[in-house]
Structure 1
Amino acid sequence: MKKIITILTVLLTLVGCQSSETKNTSTTDKHLDKKVVTVTTSFLNDMVNELAGDIVDREVVIPAGESPHLYVAKPKDLQKIYDGDLVLYQGLGFEGNLTEALEQEGYCVTENFSKDDVKTIDDEGNEIIDPHFWFNIDFYKLATENVSKKLVELVPEQRETIEKNTENYISQLTKLDEENRNLLSQIPEDSKYLITPHDAFNYFSEWYNIPVKAPQGMGSDTEVANKDIQKTVDFIIDHKIKAVFAESTTDPARMEKLQEDCKSRGFEVKVVSGKNQELFSDSLAPKGEIGDTFIGMYKHNVELITENLK
């Protein structure tokens, strides 16, 4: 990993060695007279769209539908970072190999999160920060407010519009949380267990008081040890869990393995997977598909969980 980070840093340095004239020309040609906001993820792309709309242009580094855990940065991604008038990234280690470059050029939307509130995960004996803060609605609101302030700094003449949009979006997030709680209350307490492929729903678990278990570690590309599979199978059978859920950025075969092992021990569990039947965790859906906005993604997840566990 150190080698990859070094390569990225060198690439960023080479890109940064361009003259300011070259930078201004490349940005102006593509975006005319609008400010350019470069964002790392689909979450931030949606957030900036909600707050600023067409006031600014946006460039996205990690495409919607792809996992940041697996994404390999390209030189053009670093060019986007360099060319952005404002660069926003999620932080907490979520962007992986891009982190070092982003710390040099960008603003971390979680910079003022309390260390006492940020969750950690035991990853093979190492305690690491859990970056999936967006499943805590209050954290997402805080990130939204942080982004709003940076947008106002970028285009101060649009302060009134951005602040009005921010207030409206925060209200929508409050309404979303209320709707989520109403839906999840339909699940009987003895059925309220969420089994997912990797550790992405711990903030969700705490926020809505739903125990979550994942046989996989933090990364969506890690192999699942047989002992972890068997521990999860035991948990499913002991708690008579009705369904387990695949994610849009992970291999559903891992959850099917749980199903097979449960069946071999006489217990049937459903694997919820397939088109529009997967949970979103590390990315929103591509534009035009179900779950292509933060609110749409969250509604989809909660509806899918409720439908299959109640």
Structure 2
Amino acid sequence: MKRKILAIILLVFTLVGCNNIKKEDIDESKKIVTVTTSFLYDMVDQLAGEYVNRRLIIPAGEDPHLYVAKPRDLEKILDTDLLLYHGLHFEGKMSEVLEQRGYAASENFKSEEVGTMQEDGSEIIDPHFWFNIDLYKKATESVSKRLIELLPEHKKEIENNTLNYLKELDDLDEENKKLLSEIPEDRRFLITPHDAFNYFSRYYNMPVLAPQGMSTDSEVANKEIQSTVDFIVENKIKAIFAESTTDPARMDKLKEAALSKNFDVKVVKGDDNELFSDSLAPSGEIGDTYISMYRHNVKLIVDNLK
């Protein structure tokens, strides 16, 4: 029944929606690749940017957890030559349509590579794999394969771009390890609003606490605030970090609660001083590519914790 309903929806948009798609900034000689997130938008650019038209569904800087799909998003999904998405339920309510029409960058991940987390007493899949550089490389290889299938005439160029980009990711990993090693062992704790950094935590052996859980729109329970504050005070955490797609006021609550225990912790926030978690920055801003985003995050962490 679900498949029939989906087919009807897609047919309706095919008949009444696709003719309304704006064609500006589209090179008619190039095929269209539609992606769900800014991470994939950048990845496609690195691998085959000059050979395709790219379309993005969830705008850079917006929170995918809160994003509500619009009619024009279905139009983008239908009017494309290749549709790429993260998978692991990151795209939420759009997942069913995406699974029917496109390819997940995480399609070749092994079950043991995928993390889980607790949400409202249940174990759920953790979709934030991009903070594990090895998994991001694996996703890059999957996307590269799909792009080559789409553009066999550019197979050699895409393969070369892929190899070069994988080397850049290896270099980034080594750079991150060197910088993070500057933080003393007893200060290697990362406090963020929501559970986006568990892959980072395991990959770089840096414990993470996130009182808000996975959802970015949930209210933080008093018991979660209290347990996090106790941890901050006990471990004398120097700084806690706001994120670019969450409300920094929620971290201010932790600071206020710590002050009531006579401990002052810095909230790292403000322009260019927030961690990127679920999105890259808009084009032209700091953190508008995966590599620059990761460099920004690691530098911000190291500068405030070492």
TM (norm. structure 1) is 0.94
Match of 1:203 among 199, 205, 212: 199
AA aligned opposite 1:200? A
Structure 1's 27 and 233: CA in aligned 2 closer, same or farther, altered over 3 A? same
Instruction: Work out the CA distance in 1 between the residues paired with 2:266 and 2:230.
Output: 15
Which residue in the other structure is 1:3 paired with? none
Match of 2:280 among 275, 280, 284: 284
Please identify runs of 4+ aligned residues in structure 1 that moved more than 6 A: 6-9, 25-29
Match of 2:181 among 178, 181, 185: 185
Unaligned runs of 5+ in 1: 1-5
Contact 2:26 2:53 (C-alpha < 8 Å) held by counterparts: no
Instruction: Work out the CA distance in 2 between the residues paired with 1:153 and 1:27.
Output: 24
**Does 2:211 match 1:215?**
yes
Instruction: Work out the CA distance in 1 between the residues paired with 2:25 and 2:294.
Output: 37
Match of 1:14 among 8, 12, 15: 12
Instruction: Work out the CA distance in 1 between the residues paired with 2:222 and 2:132.
Output: 31
Match of 1:152 among 141, 145, 148: 148
**3-state secondary structure, aligned to 2:113:** coil
Which residue in the other structure is 1:33 paired with? 29
1:71-82 to 2 correspondences below 5 Å? 71-82=67-78
Contact 1:195 1:212 (C-alpha < 8 Å) held by counterparts: yes
Which residue in the other structure is 1:273 paired with? 269
Which residue in the other structure is 2:158 paired with? 162
Structure 1's 9 and 60: CA in aligned 2 closer, same or farther, altered over 3 A? farther
Which residue in the other structure is 2:121 paired with? 125
Displacement, 1:30?
A: 3.9
Structure 1's 181 and 130: CA in aligned 2 closer, same or farther, altered over 3 A? same
Displacement, 1:305?
A: 0.1
Identity %, equivalent residues:
63
In angstroms, what is the RMSD of aligned CA positions? 2.2
Instruction: Work out the CA distance in 1 between the residues paired with 2:54 and 2:289.
Output: 15
Displacement, 1:150?
A: 0.4
1:49-68 to 2 correspondences below 5 Å? 49-68=45-64
Contact 2:38 2:279 (C-alpha < 8 Å) held by counterparts: yes
Instruction: Work out the CA distance in 1 between the residues paired with 2:26 and 2:42.
Output: 21
Instruction: Work out the CA distance in 2 between the residues paired with 1:300 and 1:175.
Output: 15
Which residue in the other structure is 1:96 paired with? 92
Structure 1's 10 and 239: CA in aligned 2 closer, same or farther, altered over 3 A? farther
Contact 1:244 1:269 (C-alpha < 8 Å) held by counterparts: yes
Which residue in the other structure is 1:176 paired with? 172
Displacement, 1:27?
A: 6.5
Unaligned runs of 5+ in 2: none
Deviations 1:72-123 (A, max 9, x none): 0100011001011000000001001111110111111111111111000010
Contact 1:27 1:83 (C-alpha < 8 Å) held by counterparts: no
TM (norm. structure 2) is 0.95
